[in-house]
Amino acid sequence: MNRNVCRRTFRRFRESILQMSEARTLLIDFWMGHANRDMSGRYGKQLLDNVQWRRDCAAKVGLGFSLPTEEEQPLMDKSGQVLKDEKQEVVAA
């Protein structure tokens, strides 16, 4: 992992994905842990209590990236070193 990457990089990436989505600002603030002090935040609290609504919104937004499948992941030992697999050697040849 690049040591120059800030710990908050993923948080910033996630907020940008949420801002580009159709998610409501009230929900984005909730997910990001921001305090919402305006009246709409107070009135919208009942929406935040609706877990199914939040799950549906999260499913629509998605992650903003895809995780590799098991087939795409190289085999690694406990130290993180990539193990050479016979299948990989055949494909490479």
* Residue, of 44 and 88, whose pLDDT is higher: 44
State the Cα–Cα distance between residues 47 and 28, nearest whole angstrom: 12
- Owner of token pair 């603030």: 29
pLDDT at 84 over 60: yes
What pTM was computed for the model?
Answer: 0.53
Cα distances from 51 to residues 55, 56, 73, in angstroms, run: 6, 9, 33
Q: What is the pLDDT of residues 21-73, one digit of tens each?
A: 888 888 888 888 887 667 666 777 778 888 998 899 888 888 887 777 777 77
